Structure 1
Amino acid sequence: MSHVSAERHAGQDLIKWIALVTMVLDHMRLAWPATSDLFVLGRLSFPFFCLALAINVSRNQPGELFTRSNGRYLALLLLFAVLSEVPYRMVGTSGTFNVLVTLALGLLVAWGVQHQTFESLVLAVGAIAAAYLLSEPLMYGFYGVLVPAALVLAIRRPKLFALLPVVLCVAINTRTGLFERAAQLEPFAILALLIAALAPLLGLALFWARLPFRVLPVTQWSYWFYPGHLVALLGIRNLL
């Protein structure tokens, strides 16, 4: 989600906008089942949210974990994870926790990769253990928690680690049945897996590109947007 920085980066804001828009397109099927094909574009959303998180983490000075900014970042993720759980359960059917829980655990693992201090590694190991134990009810499962850390590595050493988030972003879709459908050469499933695989590379390309235009900043309002869009979808579904 959003994390305010002293220097705005147009590529990072564009990544956040794409994450938000594709999330809404993906979730529209919860109110309008006829839009279920937008699930394909929704495969961009989670990798892009993870990349926005990884960019913020990569800007931390290694070793400086316990800062006011980091504390606020984690606190906001946890607060809105709690606020979003009721509307998420009411509108969703997957039975998992909302995505902010996965992102909060992913933040702790990413801090371990970035800072490599005893405290950050303890937090990372704890988050990985929690992800393993909660893999079933966790949105995107165990591998989803590892995506932000993989993207931190890709930002730092792209030649060595650029393909790691690609592998993880494909792996997080194992529970969706896409692999079985792709094996039967179903175009919808093949396209969804292809977009999931390309999402982190596309996001990294946008981050490194020099954009010739300005992008409207995505700030802390985006935290409210997550539970807000769930409530809106619930209201629309009840009206239809």
Structure 2
Amino acid sequence: MSEAHSAIRPVRDRALDLLKWLAMLSMALDHLRYVGWSADWLYVPGRLAFAWFCLAIAVNVGRSVSQAVDPGIRWKYLAWLGMFSVVAELPYRLYMAGEVTTLNVLPTLVLGLLVAQGASSGSWPMRIMAVLALGIGVAFAPSLMFGAYGVLLPTAFLLVLRGSLWLAVLPGVICLLSNEWPKIIDGMLWGDPISVGALIACLIGPWLGLALLRWRPAFAVWPMRRWAYLIYPLHFLLLFGLRHALA
């Protein structure tokens, strides 16, 4: 999964960029359920988004480890995630009013990044920071989207990135646990097709993401750079406008 580098600048990993775009699409489809249409089935593809964002984080952490003897904390990465955690909260609450029970997803990703960096580092300060981040994730799990299991998901991906693709069962199980698994299991037992689809999406979504990263697309993929952080808050505002236009 390493990215080739030239003497001038790193070569973009088109598979990783494609994974990020597909994660964004999955997220947008999931949130379309709240526009006002009867589209509960979109819950199924929506289960892929968080898993694939966590996989992208794990890939970036893995690369920083392979490219440095003693990689430090990626402060810029954390700063961008942290800043947009704050920026996105108001649009998130504006659009998801009546549905909000947690913070937006970015604080979970911030904590997940810290845990993954600590788990891959031999530095005790980074390990201590990872333990603190995990402790925060456990203590404030009810306030975090995807809870404490969501904080662990990037690290679960790190454990399998350099191993067999079949080990993706681990992040698959953690992905299921990070979602509303009691409701999913209960609905599946009653034969609800959406619950069955959600269960399958949670379990095989990580495997699909890892398989995608091992593919080398022959077509160009628009690079997803730092500007892409804006997509998260802006898509809430666009969907909020769409909902009012349809009202």
* TM-score scaled by length of structure 2: 0.89
Which residue in the other structure is 1:13 paired with?
A: 17
1:55 & 1:207 partners in 2: Cα distance? 9
Name stretches of at least 5 consecutive residues in structure 2 with no aligned partner: 1-8
Instruction: Sort the Cα spacing of 1:109 and 1:100 in 2 relative to 1 into closer, same or farther, 3 A.
Output: same
Letter of the 2:207 partner, please give it.
L
**Which secondary structure state, in structure 1, belongs to the residue aligned with residue 38 of structure 2?**
helix
Is 1:105 paired with 2:111?
yes
Superposition deviation, residue 187 in structure 1:
1.6
After superposition, the C-alpha distances for 1:27-70 in whole angstroms (9 at most, x for unaligned) are 0111133222111111110001111111110001352114xxx2
- Check the 8 A contact 2:166/2:207 in 1, yes or no: no
Please state how far the C-alpha of 1:140 moved relative to its aligned partner. Answer: 0.4
Number of the residue aligned with 2:214: 208
Q: What code does the residue aligned with 1:181 have?
A: G
1:64 aligns with one of 68, 71, 82:
71
Select which of 156, 165, 177 maps to 1:171.
177
Unaligned ranges ≥5, structure 1: none
Give the counterpart letter for 1:144 in structure 2: G
Runs of 4+ with >3 A deviation: 158-161
1:91 aligns with 2:95: yes
Match of 2:187 in 1: 181
The residue correspondences of 1:115-134 to structure 2 (distance < 5 A) are 115-134=121-140
Offset of residue 211 of structure 1: 2.1
8 Å CA contact 2:173–2:202 kept in 1: the answer is no
Matched to 1:74, the amino acid is: L
Are 2:165 and 2:207, in contact at CA under 8 Å, matched by a contact in 1? no
Q: Distance in 1 between matches of 2:156 and 2:230?
A: 27
Match for residue 53 of structure 1? 57
> In structure 2, what is the Cα distance between the partners aligned to 1:168 and 1:45?
14
The structural deviation recorded for 1:156 is 2.6
State the identity %. 38
Question: Alpha-carbon deviation of 1:159?
Answer: 6.2
Aligned with 1:210: secondary structure?
Answer: coil
2:232 is matched with which residue: 220, 226, 230? 226
Counterpart for residue 157 of structure 1: 163
Give a deviation string over 1:169-194, Cα, whole Å, max 9, x none: 11112357111101212121011110
2:21 counterpart SS class = helix
TM-aligned CA distance change 1:210 to 1:159, over 3 Å: closer
Cα distance in 1 for partners of 2:190, 2:156 equals 30
- The residue type paired with residue 125 of structure 2 is E
Cα root mean square deviation, aligned: 1.6
Q: Give the total of aligned pairs.
A: 233
